[in-house]
Amino acid sequence: MNEHDIQNQIRIEISNQRLGVSFRTNVGRAWTGNNIHKNADGSMTIMDPRPFQTGLPEGYSDLTVVVPMVITPEMVGKQIAVAGFIEVKNKTRKATPAQLNFIEQMQSIGARAGVARSVEDAIQILRG
């Protein structure tokens, strides 16, 4: 199963189990330039092209999840924010050093973050 399919299954289960609201976070590279001409065949020609990065920083997880919290009496009056970050991988791919660093940084400030290879992994991450 590819990572896109795993990611979709995770998002459906997050919704079904009411574990939070998930957002797919896209990062990409594109080209821009000073003049862009649309050609008759529908293609485009970019004059003086230059690449640019879009989206979030390197290593940012595939899914961002806003996780609902049950407020206990001890929590009253305290600021509480719980976010989840899920890096989706298939059975063979490994997280990059940048992805592992991002997960570690998020965990260090109390977020729920980790690498998920299955729906079960993702649920475990979000439940803490």
pLDDT confidence of residue 43: 95
**pLDDT higher at 25 or 114:** 114
Q: Which of 52, 68, 85 is nearest to 17 (CA)?
A: 68
| Residue with more model confidence, 85 or 30 | 85
pTM of the model: 0.77
Averaged confidence pLDDT in the chain? 91
Which range (28-32, 42-46, 85-89, 114-118) has the least confidence? 28-32
Dihedral of CA 95/63/7/13: which sign? positive
Domains of the chain: 3-25+60-127 (3.40.1350.10), 28-55 (no CATH)
> Distance between CA 40 and CA 101 in Å, rounded?
46
pLDDT digits (tens, 9 = 90+) for 48-103: 999 988 888 889 999 999 988 777 787 776 656 589 999 999 999 999 999 999 99
